[in-house]
Amino acid sequence: MIWQQLQSLAGSYPLALRGLGMTVMLSLISLVLGTLLGFGLGILRTGGNRLISGLIGAWVDLIRGTPFLVQIFLIFFILPEFGIELDAFTAGIIALTNLAACFICEIVVAGIRSVPTGQVEAALASGLSRLQRMRQVVLPQAMRIVLPPLVGQYVLLIKDSSVVSAIGLTDLTRVGWLVVQRVPNGLLVFFLVGVGYFIVCYPLIMLARRLEQRMGAAHGEVQL
């Protein structure tokens, strides 16, 4: 019986590959967009304009305070009422990008705030423009604080992409769900699904750890 199941599983490997491809594509697109948007929001939030920074803070709090599943449902089912028809893929990308941007915004803010004010003052005194100050003084130093949690955030993003299966996208988790209807061995099927995610996520987790150690060491040197 297990032999039959294995055969049946082997037969559904094109489906599994497609699911893995969907998971990677969703994560990759929203990772790039979310990083850009997140850095933009983070820089704006520390920019000194009270209104803008308050608005961004409120939005980030709303997103951090609600489950991702609810956000996806809101985007997928409610935007059409405003006349914006979305297919599941676009809705998934929007939801994931927004989520990533909000969390990355917080990471970037923490990074920028970690740069000593003396640095900014020195840049001001040297007559650097706002853009130069950000690009050449603040951000390079902030990156040391930003990078490890940023990679950690990418892992979370890949894992969160599994939730879009709830609106019917055939990602890796959804493939597992489909296969388990035919091959009634949940342990085996979802073990394999887990292996798929592990292969994508584990290298990133290792990278985050390595960065944390290296950046920590670099930080120590500076403080000495």
Structure tokens given for 130: 């706002």
Among 201, 207, 211, 215, binds other proteins (CB under 8 A): 201
**What burial letters (b/e) apply to 184-194, b meaning 16+ CB within 10 Å?**
ebeebbeebbe
If residue 169 lies in a helix (H) or strand (E), which one and from where to where?
Answer: none
Nearer to other proteins, 13 or 77 (CB): 77
Minimum CB distance to other proteins smaller for 128 or for 204: 204
CB of 137 to other proteins, least distance (A): 25
**Structural tokens at position 169:** 């996208």
Span 161-200, contacts to other proteins by CB under 8 A: 161-163, 165-166, 172-173, 176-177, 180, 184-187, 189-191, 193-194, 197-198
Structure tokens of 164?
């879009």
Count of residues for the chain?
224
Q: Which two tokens stand for residue 191?
A: 């073990």
User: Which structure tokens are listed for 30?
Assistant: 């929203």
Site for other proteins, residues 38 to 77, rule: CB under 8 A: 61-62, 64-70, 73-74, 77
Of 108, 190, 192, the residue nearest 153 (C-alpha) = 108
Quick one: 144 or 174, whose CB is closer to other proteins?
174
For the chain, give percent helix, strand, coil, nearest 5. 90, 0, 10
Nearer to other proteins, 97 or 153 (CB): 153
Please give the residues from 94 up to 153 whose contact with other proteins meets the rule CB under 8 A. Answer: none
User: Under DSSP, is residue 183 helix (H, G, I), strand (E, B) or coil?
Assistant: coil
**For 170, phi and psi rounded to 5 degrees?**
-85, 75
We find the least distance from the C-beta atom of residue 149 to other proteins, in angstroms, to be 9
Among 41, 96, 104, 155, binds other proteins (CB under 8 A): 155
Cβ proximity to other proteins: between 49 and 66 the closer is 66
Say how far residue 205 (Cα) sits from the centre of its chain.
13
- List interacting residues with other proteins (CB under 8 A): 61-62, 64-70, 73-74, 77-78, 81-83, 155, 158-163, 165-166, 172-173, 176-177, 180, 184-187, 189-191, 193-194, 197-198, 201-202, 205
